[in-house]
Chain A
Amino acid sequence: MNWKRWRWTYWTDLFRRRKLAQDLDDELKAHVQMEIQRRISKGESPDEARRAALRDVRSLDSVKEATRDAWTWTSIERLMQDLRYAARTLLKTPVFAGIAILSLALGIGANTAIFSLVNALLLRTLPVSHPEELVLLTSYSREYRVGDFAYPDYLRLRDQTQVFSGLLGAGSGNRMEIDLGNRTDRPQVQIVTGNYFTVLGVQPLQGRLLVADDDNAPVAVISHGFWQRSFGGDPSVVGKSLMIRGSLCAIVGVAPREFHGDSAGEATDVWMSLGMQQAVTFSRFDMQKVRYVTWANVIGRLKPGMTIEQARAEAAPLVGQIHESAGTSPDKDYLHHIVMQPGGRGFAEMRERLQAPLLILMAVVALVLLMACTNLASLLLARAASRQREIATRLAIGASRMRVIRQLLTESVLLALIGGAFGLLIAVWINRFLLNLVSQGLVTITINLNPDGRILLFTAGVSVLTGILFGLTPAIQAVRRDAGPFLKTSSRTIGGRTRRRLLRNVLIFAQVALSLVLLTAGALFVRTVRNLKTVDTGFAAGNVLSVGIAPHRTAGPAQEADLAARLIDRISAIPGIRSATVAVNATLGLAGSGVYGLEIEGYTPKNEDDQRARANWVGPRYFETLGMSVLQGREFSMADTLNSSGVVIVNQTVARHYFGEESAIGRRVRFNKRDHEIVGVVRDAKYRELREVSPRMVFFAFLQYPSGVNNVEVRTDADPLAFAKTVRSAIKQVDPQLDAFEVATVAQRIDRKLTPEYLVADISGFFSGLTLLLVCIGIYGTLSYSVAGRTNEIGVRMALGAKRSSVLRLILRDILWTLIAGLAVGLAGALAAGRVVESLLFGLKPHDPVTLTFVVLLVAAVALLAGYIPARRATRVDPVSALRAE
């Protein structure tokens, strides 16, 4: 049959069924009329003819029925029947339906939630034309990933490529204070090359987007969101100017609503032309001329027909040319080689940060769903058993097995679909929680989590698959037995029990094993977070306020030192503030610095690395402010200035590394053609990451190496956040040009660092707890059913003198071996899973014996408890009534 035609009639029939039925009615009536007339014309009397005609057609209904069978839509009709019947059956057992739907909703909801994050952050491509043509270029030094490029190198790549039709350069986004006349705002600003929008293939919503000529002009494009938020969607916004850090910049256009920028999870509000770069960065270098400042993140668009392999082949010689003309060696430069990846999803920073945690969470919630499914299967199995009579009757009166299986499957799919629908609701709720969690740590993730087609498809697919896969086995089990015995005798017959019991035990086994794996993972992650939070940071984080200050215009070293000193004095004078200081790198902040070429007096370096150390430039009373103990010597004071002799403070690791047991105080360090005397040794601490193992750290005096102030650290008497406003305004008083863009406590910094860990620990902790509940339900439900089915047998045993304890053993023995097997396999699974997540753990090994023992005992206890309740009910069986019920 013609497939297209069939499909078409199928659907038209569905909507025209009423008309079809009416037609058939009319047709048969006409038939009867014609038959009567034929008979009359043959000479029969009208009465006789009518009777004969009706007899001839026999029952009109059976003709209709047979004809309707020729119509395809009856299968739809049957489905509706099945659905109605399934809904009625489920309503009759609300507890069963409720538990099944709830566990499925949790499983499916968790999967949908995590999948929407994965979709938004890892899968979704940028809303630009032909994202598959985009290629992400990443710079690598010989040893590590750098990421961005120096502008001259970007220019060379852009101008000499044969493979790309265009290469865009984009700085990373920063919050910048913008003066809007009557008020200020703090949008995310990104500096981009003039060809940025052309390469991405984005069309303007209002005005125009940037063009190549804009590289020298102070212009900007704003996002749809920023346009709405800050300008109320004013249609005349094009042509207005933004005042940023003392410079004016003209708005030339508005980007389309769906375009948020070049990275998933990070939304840009203002795209500023290169012409604004020097004006807002206040860099002492010309960022478009020098090779030692890298800032341009590069994405290229392949010419039609070109491949990423061709781009890779082209890159190596270009890197060679760059070094040839700059006279540098690739081994000692930031740019050793370029890695090219498909760039349709934009820049990768957020993606790389969250990829591992998200994938682990995806695995966790997948296991949770599997648990929910086995739970559903065991519930269905138990229920099918209690419906033996019904099913046997239906088989006996002529229903085919397929028909009964289809009916049972309709039920489980209906359950799963309802579960899926609730799951979507739960997913919205979980997502809100997740976004809050992720955004807490000062990283604002802007992602669109509205369920799109892909997510709805995912949820619907998971639901239907769940319903079919996990409903099928119980359904087949249900129809497998012969109808005979169940009808003839009571339902207590033993027939077919072993196979069913085996299946039941397999399900319990799977649940125990899965929950053990999940609980172990959950416990490991939760303990990791606790370890990280209680790790010895080496400083007293409480009551420290850390203020980030945007780069600002400075005149020279003397003025910079003066500004720092004035800031320190002004802030220290605020009542309730104990001390204030400045630092180049914030404690546990995003940036860190290193120095190399250190010459230590009386020490022969073994290699180049031996002359390297991490470094920070800090103001007077820095260690007091942060609560780092000075073990020997003194710390910096206001007296360590440009005019006094050079001083340096080192941490314990430096002292031990270079001087062993001898004292470091008084030794000299030569760096940057200047001599410094070690005046203090401080305790080791965490400087950038909580996971770092004490690096060698050298502290220089800020006032001896003045630069623009970019961090102020403050120790307060009470809640540091209460001082945020006062400190901010004090900074403005010292110099109105200073933009304190971030005020946070060190505790908040730690939270931000730990965001991925929190994400994993909270979610896996919550869901592993949930699996315990699922195991309980599964075992309880299964054993309850099994006990109910054996009431008779237990009654006989007790009548024959069996003790209650032996009955208890009888029932529990049923699941004991299953439990032990589940624990053993689960333990093996947990060890294997632990190896996968090892890199995320801190302060404990994946095979941590305490965790494993605890989890095994917990699962065993919960499983036995869940089994004990129905087992005890069995011992309460009254032999007399049990036998009488027979």
Chain B
Amino acid sequence: MAKTRQKPDLLQGTLDLLILRTLQWGPQHGHGIGVALRASSDEVLNVDHGSLYPALHRLERQGWVDAEWKLSDNNQRARYYRLTPSGRKQLMAEESKWDLLVKAVSRIRNPV
């Protein structure tokens, strides 16, 4: 029996944004994305692998990232994800959406 999919829009959107943003700097495999996210958020965000891989596959399906098997730095076969042109566009859209959200939230928190 299929699980009912949980779709908290904000969270999912956020994870998508973070993944796309990480891939902006070049192709990366799943593990590397996880490490990068943790490192660049100063260990604040610890992305659950149970969400990371489904998100990656979903992004791939939507055509925002491409994947191919390559050898990693220490000679291990890994699936590398790369941002596609439409993924780049999506990233820009997600970022402006995020900016709007942040602005809106901070306006509420610190009314002028």
Contacts and interface: CB of A to CB of B under 8 A. Distances in A.
B76 A5 contact: no
Interface in B10-52: 29-32, 35, 49-51
B110 interface: no
Interface in A51-78: 56-58, 62-63, 65-67, 69-72, 74, 78
A399 B1 contact: yes
Contact of A69 (B1, B5, B78, B79): B5
Contacts of B4: 400
Interface string A1-38: 11001100100000000000001101110110111011
A66 B79 contact: no
A66 B53 contact: yes
A27 B79 CA distance: 6
Contact of B61 (A9, A38, A66): A9
B53 A27 contact: yes
Contacts, number: 77
A30 B79 contact: yes
B1 A5 contact: no
B58 interface: yes
Interface residues of A, number: 35
A314 B101 CA distance: 73
A63 B79 contact: no
A69 B76 CA distance: 27
A78 B2 contact: yes
Contact of B31 (A34, A72, A399): A34
B50 A58 contact: yes
A403 interface: yes
Interface string B49-64: 1110111011001110
Most chain B CB neighbours (cut-off 10 Å) among A2, A67, A74: A67
B61 A72 contact: yes
Contact of B62 (A1, A33, A56): A1
A71 B61 contact: yes
A30 B57 contact: no
B103 interface: no
Most chain A CB neighbours (cut-off 10 Å) among B4, B32, B50, B63: B50
Nearest to B46: A56
Contacts of B76: 30, 33-34
B63 A70 contact: no
Nearest to A41: B74
A373 to B, nearest CB: 30
B5 A23 contact: no
Most chain B CB neighbours (cut-off 10 Å) among A24, A26, A30: A30
A398 interface: yes
Contacts of A38: 31, 35
B19 to A, nearest CB: 13
Contacts of B5: 69
B67 to A, nearest CB: 9
Interface string B72-97: 10101111000000000000000000
A63 B58 CA distance: 13
A69 B77 contact: no
Nearest to B3: A69
A1 B58 CA distance: 11
Contact of B79 (A2, A26, A37, A65): A26
Given A1-B62, A23-B79, A70 B2 contact: no
A34 B49 CA distance: 13
Given A1-B62, A57-B49, A403-B1, A66 B54 contact: yes
A30 B61 contact: no
A399 B74 CA distance: 46
Most chain A CB neighbours (cut-off 10 Å) among B32, B57, B62, B78: B57
Given A23-B79, A30-B31, A31-B30, A66 B50 contact: yes
Nearest to A37: B74
A24 B57 CA distance: 9
Chain B, interface size category, equals 20 to 34
Contacts of B50: 58, 62-63, 66
Contacts of B54: 63, 66-67, 69-70
B112 to A, nearest CB: 40
Nearest to A72: B61
Nearest to B30: A31
Contacts of A78: 2
Contacts of B55: 70
A817 B53 CA distance: 63
A35 B31 contact: yes
Contact of A27 (B30, B62, B63): B30
A65 B57 contact: no
A427 to B, nearest CB: 39
A431 B63 CA distance: 52
Given A78-B2, A399-B1, A400-B4, A70 B31 contact: no
Nearest to B86: A2
A69 B74 CA distance: 31
A210 B63 CA distance: 60
A72 B61 CA distance: 9
A74 B2 contact: yes
A65 B31 contact: no
A33 B31 CA distance: 10
Given A28-B53, A66-B50, A34 B79 contact: no
A59 to B, nearest CB: 9
Nearest to B32: A34
Interface string A545-573: 00000000000000000000000000000
A884 to B, nearest CB: 37
Interface string A151-177: 000000000000000000000000000
A67 B50 CA distance: 8
A31 B2 contact: no
A67 B63 CA distance: 16
B99 to A, nearest CB: 24
Nearest to B55: A70
A30 B2 contact: no
A65 B53 CA distance: 10
B30 A70 contact: no
Contacts of A63: 49-50, 53-54
B88 to A, nearest CB: 15
Contact of A56 (B30, B49, B57): B49
Interface string A377-404: 0000000000000000000001110010
B63 A30 contact: no
Nearest to A56: B49
Contacts of A27: 29-30, 53, 78-79
Interface string A488-510: 00000000000000000000000
Most chain A CB neighbours (cut-off 10 Å) among B32, B54, B76: B54
Nearest to B4: A400
Contacts of A31: 29-31, 49, 53
A30 B73 CA distance: 13
A399 B4 CA distance: 9
Most chain A CB neighbours (cut-off 10 Å) among B2, B5, B77: B2
A33 B2 CA distance: 30
A609 to B, nearest CB: 81
19 contacts: A1-B62, A2-B63, A26-B77, A27-B53, A27-B79, A31-B30, A31-B49, A34-B72, A38-B35, A63-B49, A65-B3, A66-B3, A66-B51, A69-B2, A69-B5, A70-B58, A71-B57, A398-B1, A399-B1
Interface of B: 1-5, 29-32, 35, 49-51, 53-55, 57-58, 61-63, 72, 74, 76-79
In the complex, the 4 A-B pairs of residues with the closest C-beta atoms, listed nearest first: A34-B31, A70-B58, A70-B57, A66-B54
Given A23-B79, A31-B53, A35-B31, 11 more contacts: A24-B57, A30-B29, A31-B29, A31-B30, A34-B76, A34-B78, A66-B50, A70-B61, A71-B57, A78-B2, A403-B1
